[in-house]
Structure 1
């Protein structure tokens, strides 16, 4: 299995909601359809207010390449202002098992 899961967790900027975050992702969602290897994206919000943004890639290498490009290609995206940057935790790991 060569797929990789990219997981970013964070809190939203003060006063914003998950609806604000999702709305601010319009350009990010469009951009994600372009890089090679993108499979899917899911955004979840826990009862504790933490957001989990998950992306599935065909390989860790493709996910890492996309991650290194997105900040330079979408530096003015409104999504950046919706995130409490001090709370961000990001990783991309190769999948070792899958079902479905």
Structure 2
């Protein structure tokens, strides 16, 4: 049995992108991400220095990698993706070992 996978993405926004506009764009892609096979949950937060952290929980590594490969193909994700400063993106996938709800 495969373990759930946590996709962690850290990034900064492009200059001039307003926080509230980015949050609206992040909500705008919710319909896409919720329909991806293997999706469990998503959280998006921001540190004091403006680094955004997105955690997405997937049923397995295949689901995580498939969604990551397809994210740029959906028109509803354009506003979200275009707000992100590409060179600042760091993406990792890790197996979930302990969870407390």
> For residue 72 of structure 1, what is the aligned residue in structure 2?
73
> What are the Cα deviations for residues 37-70 of structure 1, in whole angstroms up to 9, with x where unaligned?
1111111000111000111111122111111111
Give the count of matched residue pairs: 100
Aligned-partner Cα distance in 1 for 2:81–2:10: 14
Query: How far off is 1:73 after superposition?
Result: 3.1
Which residue in 2 is equivalent to 1:22?
23
- Taking only aligned residues, the RMSD between alpha carbons, in angstroms, comes to 1.8
Q: Return 5+ residue gaps in structure 2 as ranges.
A: none
**CA-to-partner distance for each residue in 1:67-90, whole Å, 9 max, x for gaps?**
111112348711122111110101
The normalised TM-score by structure 1 is 0.87
| Residue 23 (structure 1) shift | 1.1
- In the superposition, the TM-score normalised over structure 2's length comes to 0.87
Q: Which residue of 2 aligns with 1:60?
A: 61
Aligned to 1:9: 10
